[in-house]
Amino acid sequence: MANFLNFLSMSMRYEDFLNMPMEQMAEIVWAHGLFLTEKKYSTRFVELYALNNFFVEIWFALPQNIRDFNFVLIIKTFKKVKALDPYLFDEESFSLIKSY
């Protein structure tokens, strides 16, 4: 399975990723995505990753990081750098991003 996930992450197109089941998306992002930063809300937690030529947000139902698919609410994807603005204007998130 690991070899298959590695192949998928290297050769996958954005459109292919969008057509995957959400659980498979999460597995690929956690295994092969480049973690950029996180944002905390009172009842939600968001991780931001770069994967190939797009970005992925994984939204959790808890205010802390638990990499368990049972707590994933939604996975959002985007390609436009403009969508990073909410992270760039947040001091804590920006400091994590610029450390890469």
Domain boundaries along the sequence of the chain: 2-98
Q: Mean pLDDT across the stretch 79-89?
A: 84
Q: What is the pLDDT of residue 60?
A: 87
Model pLDDT for residues 21-72, shown as the tens digit of each residue: 999 999 999 999 999 988 888 788 889 999 988 999 999 887 555 666 677 8
Amino acid at 2: A
- Residue 93 in this model has a pLDDT that exceeds 60: no
97 or 87, greater pLDDT: 87
For β-strands 72-78 and 45-51, DSSP reports them as unpaired
**Cα 90 → chain centroid:** 17
User: Taking a C-beta distance cutoff of 8 angstroms, is the pair 26, 66 a contact?
Assistant: no
Quick one: which H or E segment has residue 34? strand 34-40
Q: What is the pLDDT of residue 10?
A: 58
- Residue 4 in this model has a pLDDT that exceeds 60: no
